Structures are given as C-alpha cells and as structure tokens.
Amino acid sequence: MALITFKGNPIQTSGELPDEGATAPDFKLTKTDLSDVSLKDFAGKKKILNITPSLDTGVCATSAQKFNEAVSKLTGVVLLNVSADLPFAAGRFCESHHLQNVVALSTFRAPDFAKAYGVRIADGPLAGLTARAVVVLDAQNKVLHAELVPEIAQEPDYAAALAAVR
C-alpha cells in the first residue's frame, strides 16, 4: 500500500508497484476492439505501461500524447496505455487525438490488474480507478523502471521512463 495525493488530499493505493529487476505480473486487459491481450501478445518488444485514471482528464491525455510522440521515434517499443476507461471511449480518444502509437487497454474486465501492479486507488473520490504510474519493461518483461506518481494531478517523469527503454 502506498500513500499518494489527489489535488493535495491523501489517498491510498492497494498492492505494490513491481520492483525494478522483477518480472512484471502478467495481465489480461481489453483492447478497443474488445479482444483481450496479455504480456505474451507483446513478446519481444520493450513496453511502456502508461497507467492512468482516465484519458478524459487533462494530465492523462497529456501523458498519452507525450509518450505517443516519443515512442514514434523508437524501434522495438510498444506503448500500452492502461486505464479503467471503456474500450470504446479509449478508442475514440486515441482516434480523435491521432495517437497511432498507443495501444489503449482497459481494466474494465480485469480489476485484478490494478492490485497486481499496486495502482488500485483504495479510497477517496477516485476509489476503484488506477493511480498514475509508469512501468517500463524489457523484451522479457523484466521491470526496468517503475514510478508511482506521488500526486495524481502531476505528470510522470518522462525522461526517466524513456531513458530506461532506450
């Protein structure tokens, strides 16, 4: 369990963010076409998991856009944006913002993802959503970088995440 803030007010998450060097927990999340995917579907690629509460918020939208632009210049890297948004809404967001490098994934069928990755918000007005975090994995799903952003209204450390994936 970690203590973070939402607009300065303390809230707690359940579970623990995966440690650097550990193997990332597998998952089954839903893509915008309603198919389910797991880590094996991205085998052989480095992965940036941009975990957000909802793409409908300004900071979440900004992080998806900034990572989308950065990933467009990298090879062998896939950007997975994970949120509780329904697949339809995430798809519309990516389409309307021209985010061609984002694989939008929804936790709506997989509430266990948030606890396995230590990002389930346990209390406060956003209880049940995912906290803002970035987890970078190598091609074998070892954690290269993990950041639980301490304030939900704050952007992640893009430079640290991108340095880890290079």
- Placement of tokens 């396995």 in the chain: 116
Residue type, 76: G
- Polymer length in residues for the chain: 166
Q: How many CB atoms lie within 10 A of CB 54?
A: 17
Segment 82-130, tens digit of pLDDT: 999 999 999 888 888 888 898 999 999 998 999 999 999 999 999 999 9
Residue 60 appears among annotated catalytic residues: yes
Question: What's the fold here for domain 2-165?
Answer: Glutaredoxin (3.40.30)
Among the listed residues 17, 24, 60, 78, the single catalytic one is: 60
Amino acid at 130: T
Among the residues of 9-125, which ranges form H helices? 58-71, 87-96, 112-116
Percent of the chain with pLDDT over 90: 80
Q: What is the pLDDT of residue 41?
A: 97
User: What is the model's pTM?
Assistant: 0.93
pLDDT tens string 136-159: 999 999 999 999 999 999 999 999
Query: Taking the CB of residue 166, how many other CB atoms lie within 10 A of it?
Result: 9
